[in-house]
Structure formats: C-alpha cells, structure tokens
Amino acid sequence: MEITEIKEAVKKAYTNVLNERDGGCCSTDCCGTGESIADDYTNQSGYSAEADYGLGCGIPTEFAAIKKGDTVLDLGSGAGNDVFIASRTVGESGKVIGLDMTEAMIDKANSNKKKLGITNAEFILGEIEEMPLQNASIDVVLSNCVLNLVPDKAKAFQEIYRVLKGGGHFTISDIVVSGQLPEKILKTAEMYAGCIAGAMLKDEYVKTISETGFKDIKIFKEKSIELSDELMLKYLNQQELSEYRTGKNKILSITITGFK
C-alpha cells in the first residue's frame, strides 16, 4: 500500500466524519463492536461537545502534566477537542497549537475556536512527519489516536523530538498490537484509516520511541479493543477469522509518555 494512498484514505475518512458526524477512527463502522473506543471527556475542564467527534482512544491531557504558561502541540488535532482542554490549563500566558493534515478539520476547529471565544490557541495545516514548526519550541506534545495513521512513525517521533524543548515531553494515546494482524487487514487502506492496519507492535512502538532518544518512557494506561466478527468478515473469510480468534493477537489502546 503506497504512502500517498494511505494519506488520501485518511483525509477522506476524516472529512467524512465532519460531513456525517460519525465514522472515522473509533466509530462502530471502523474499530468497535457497536461501541466507540473513545474515553468519556465530559468531566474534563474546558471540554466542548461540538469539538468532540469521538475519534480518540484515550485522554492524553489527563496524564500530560500541562502547566500554566506551557506551549502545547496537539498532533492530529481534529475539531479541537484536546486543544481546547489544554488551552484552559495553560491559561493566557500559554499557547496551544493544533496540527492536522485535513483542511476540513482545520476549518472546523477554527470555527469552534471562534464560537468558544478562545484566544490562546491556533490551528495549522501540516503533516506530522514534516511539521512546520521551529526546533525546541514546544513544552508538551499531545496526540490522541493519530500516530497509528502516520506511515513513517520513526520520522514522526524524530519530529516530535525536534520540536520539543530540552526537558519537554509527549503524552500520546494510540493504538498498538501484540501478535500479528492478518495480512488482508494490514494491506487495506480502509482499515488503515480506521486506526487498525497502521498500528505497530507494542514492543516495536516503545523501541522506536527509545531509539529516537526519549527517556523515562512510561505507559499510564492500557486497554484491549475487540473487533466485531461482522467487521472482520468484510476483510477475512470464516477460516481466517477463526485462526485470528484462536491466536494470541490483541489490539490495544495505550497512553504513553516520554521525555527529551
């Protein structure tokens, strides 16, 4: 599967989220069993329902130790959910930047920002593997169920390392796997856009972070995600599904941090 094909599939999927108010990474059509895998944000300070499309797989802001005055970067910021929560914490002396490669999401986030009257946040169009940001300009990097969509994850973490200040850190919620997903899943752009095909092995994911240079890597939270038979049978035959079910394969949501 070509990188261009992957990125176009992702952009299309997340533009459709806005058009249909469902779909995308964590809807029942992609990677659930009739329930979203997104965590409940409603008790988070600064939460805006208009900016929450249920596309995450954790709450990175809950563990990110963001401080007043910090400059925070949210990767794959979507309609602005995590940006707006972080903006409440950093206060007027701080700043939050949302980066997304889908123009429709940037437009929606800016619309939400205007409605909410938020002045300490901005949204920029760009890709995670090549961020339009200066070296050592960010205190905290956030991301929620997005790095799994990036074809070159090593480059993505190198970019995160580059933009972080010395002593800065990332807190990311993401999808990883243990065991091996079926080849038919791994080669399907649709499942890549649904967070699954692009997920790395958990151990390789942590190794990639470590090899980038990050220290004090810690997983705060981990939970299993079950794919429904109905969804899997769109890509596998019954025998292949049975083999998958009897194997030691797991799809996991993790929230992880690391320091520069």
List the single range of 13-17, 65-69, 151-155, 164-168 with lowest mean pLDDT.
13-17
Given pLDDT bands bounded at 50, 70 and 90, which one contains residue 228? confident
The amino acid occupying position 164 is L
The average pLDDT across 76-90 equals: 95
How large is the angle between the packed helices 3-20 and 103-116, nearest 10 degrees? 40
Per residue in 30-51, pLDDT tens? 433 333 567 778 778 777 777 7
Note whether 205 and 213 are within 8 A (CB).
no
Whole-angstrom CA distances from 86 to 11, 61, 62, 171, 243 are 25, 7, 10, 12, 43
pTM summary value: 0.85
Note whether 90 and 67 are within 8 A (CB).
yes
Query: Domain tally for the chain?
Result: 1
Q: What is the pLDDT of residue 194?
A: 56
Question: Given a cut of 60, is residue 28 above it in pLDDT?
Answer: no
Looking up residue 95, the CATH number of its domain turns out to be 3.40.50.150
The amino acid occupying position 116 is L
Whole-angstrom CA distances from 63 to 11, 14, 178, 218, 251 are 28, 26, 23, 11, 22
Q: What is the pLDDT of residue 35?
A: 38
Share of the chain above pLDDT 90, in %: 52
The amino acid occupying position 38 is A
Task: Give the domain range for residue 219.
Answer: 3-259
Report the candidate in 162, 157, 255 with the shortest Cα–Cα distance to residue 211. 157
Q: What is the pLDDT of residue 231?
A: 75
Could you count the other beta carbons within 10 Å of the beta carbon of residue 15?
Answer: 17
Question: Given a cut of 90, is residue 250 above it in pLDDT?
Answer: no
* CA diameter of the chain: 58
Q: What is the pLDDT of residue 26?
A: 43
